[in-house]
Chains A and B, each alone.
Chain A
């Protein structure tokens, strides 16, 4: 049971990055903008967050710097695609490459830097409960903030007037424009917010998850978050679920490798014996499982049609 608790804890930790980035991209896409630059924004945010943490030692400031870095890059992207109507996909790819290069360039002097010892977190009272304590209540605050953000974004999109306007902009910018909403400014706000969330995710990787900066360290998480948003049919709760699923299966396959002995333990033993497979197969598992589950839950074509923002990826020319 201890093992299971540790697995849950590790899952929450490793799924948080994908959840934050996925939620940011979801807001973008709900407003009709696809930002393929997620990986680049996360890399720049990772180095910005890490540098801030090195110089100030303050984690909150580091997250702020990460969010700001993501927001600035996203704003540049937004101006290009929203006002100048450049191709969203090409511009996003350029942003991704630019971010990778820029972060490597800025990061040269931070590769050998280190942060102080990390604090451990626990929620008083709850953290000492058997099983659920170590599994759920000894996480970094950002893990809980990601869950809160999911709820807040779901409420915003489906329960608030501003969310309705945002979705209208993503569905039919012409109609929103005709009703007098500033479509371009709303889209820019969505893009900047999405960039900021991707930035927080990037800073989480360097400041909390690994505690170091190495060039290219996001290692594809931005792309996975992009795919996740689509497979989750642009629903916040599903993005969170998909992120935890991906994180969970990643951690599960690592833990399975660590217990190759196949103990007599009921849960682990059975799982382990069922999967005495090559590590290459296990490495593939998170991608496979996430795609499979998300495709299964959203196999209903009309459901996808309802949820997919109708104007996604298309430029908007007012009048």
Chain B
């Protein structure tokens, strides 16, 4: 009997230690980066005032001179080399810019579901006063948490719902899509382009359309094939979808997913593709034609400055593009002819000074309906509700029939 109980104790211990190990491994992902706290006196007076007003509702014990705590919730791992990587680079730039006045933390791989709500609450309870959520799916959870915690400032990327203490921001990624589209249109031999789409929401549809319009500006005969994988990041599936596009005759690919799998599949098949969100040259130097990148740093610095000096206001939407330095095209390959590069430069300059507009009528959908009348420029409301494909894109947007 004693022997048996001893044994069952060992079993229990074994099972438990495994579980504890697993938990440890799970926790280790919540990494924290912290800038060293500044010596007293370096913080400016403006910081002190904001800190006191915002702290008034919560713990009075917290020293008013402490740095502003800023938290980021990411949908993917910081090492995805794409979307989340770009956000994290901007976070690092923000730390560098504002130094000891702030303290940033991040949590990666926060699912776009109810779990996000828990993470936001957790961040707020740890004293973070400015919280950035960097994916569309955080919209509802963030709205809910924002209503409960009026003294915390919320910033939501790519969404459209605001609150008195929550506002939204986005990048005009379609400007990057248009610019790489110009290169795609010039480089295709089969006149068939392929796009691996993630989830059929207006943002992604707009990028596919803009990519096609960019290509058509130099090559009116191009058509674009689209495959949806209904996920933001799933490298094997992204690669399979890219292969299916290549099998279907596409020779220049673009993706609106978060890893470099499409580019690498193109490299394997001897076709061309682009980097998206971050510079992806190194993943497949021979296949890489250019990278459309997002630089979130200007916005993060502006928003955090506002939170520091008290001018931060909730509600409202900020949508930055090439003009504000938020979108760029980088690492254009030597394979791209000089005249094509020059065309890209002209468009970039035009976007910068506002003289060039991508979404300018007439624009027709691919079933022949006029969506934008000749001579009119699309406003942001039109831009944020695009659920049709332009002429030249094959197929129809899933669920695009119902309004």
Please list the residues of chain A having a beta carbon within 8 angstroms of any beta carbon in chain B.
3, 6-7, 10, 14, 17, 76, 79-80, 84-87, 90-91, 94-95, 97-98, 100-102, 104-105, 107-108, 111-112, 114, 117-118, 205, 209-212, 214-217, 219, 221, 250-251, 254-255, 257-261, 278-280, 283
Contact = CB atoms under 8 A, between A and B. Distances in A.
A86 B11 contact: yes
Nearest to A206: B235
A254 B283 contact: no
B102 interface: no
A101 B15 contact: no
Given A101-B29, A214-B233, 11 more contacts: A79-B14, A98-B18, A101-B22, A209-B236, A216-B109, A219-B235, A254-B240, A260-B396, A261-B395, A279-B227, A279-B398
Interface string B1-26: 00000010011001100110111111
A111 B77 contact: yes
3 nearest A-B pairs in the assembled complex, by CB-CB distance? A101-B25, A111-B79, A260-B395
For A107, A205, A215, A261, the residue with the greatest tally of chain B CB atoms inside 10 Å of its CB is: A215
A263 B200 CA distance: 24
A7 B240 CA distance: 11
B399 A278 contact: yes
A257 B395 contact: yes
Nearest to B19: A94
A84 B225 CA distance: 56
A210 B200 contact: no
Contacts of A91: 15, 18
Interface in B275-314: 282-284, 286
Interface stretch (B163-171, B244-252, B356-364): B244-252
For B7, B81, B228, B286, the residue with the greatest tally of chain A CB atoms inside 10 Å of its CB is: B228
B230 interface: yes
B234 interface: yes
Nearest to B234: A219
A7 to B, nearest CB: 7
B134 interface: no
A311 B395 CA distance: 52
Given A7-B247, A86-B14, A279-B200, A258 B227 contact: yes
A111 B240 contact: no
For A217, A255, A258, A279, the residue with the greatest tally of chain B CB atoms inside 10 Å of its CB is: A258
A10 B81 contact: no
Nearest to A90: B15
B126 interface: no
B259 interface: yes
Interface in B172-207: 194, 200
Given A214-B79, A250-B240, A80 B234 contact: no
Interface of B: 7, 10-11, 14-15, 18-19, 21-26, 28-29, 77, 79-81, 109, 194, 200, 225-230, 233-237, 239-241, 243-245, 247-248, 250, 259-261, 264, 267-268, 282-284, 286, 394-396, 398-399
A250 to B, nearest CB: 7
A118 B266 CA distance: 12
B227 A114 contact: no
B236 A219 contact: yes
Contacts of B19: 90, 94
A305 B239 CA distance: 39
Contacts of B264: 114, 210-212
A216 B200 contact: no
A102 B25 contact: yes
B398 A280 contact: yes
A61 B191 CA distance: 41
A86 B248 CA distance: 51
For B29, B227, B245, the residue with the greatest tally of chain A CB atoms inside 10 Å of its CB is: B227
A208 to B, nearest CB: 10
A112 B261 contact: no
Contact of A111 (B81, B245, B250, B267): B81
B22 A98 contact: yes
A94 to B, nearest CB: 5
Contacts of B247: 3, 6-7, 10, 255, 258
A255 B15 contact: no
Contacts of B80: 111, 214-215
A281 to B, nearest CB: 9
B79 A108 contact: yes
18 contacts: A10-B240, A98-B25, A101-B25, A117-B267, A210-B264, A211-B239, A211-B261, A211-B264, A215-B109, A219-B235, A221-B236, A257-B395, A258-B194, A258-B225, A258-B227, A258-B244, A258-B245, A283-B228
B11 A84 contact: yes
B244 A117 contact: no
A79 B10 CA distance: 12
A292 B91 CA distance: 48
Nearest to A221: B236
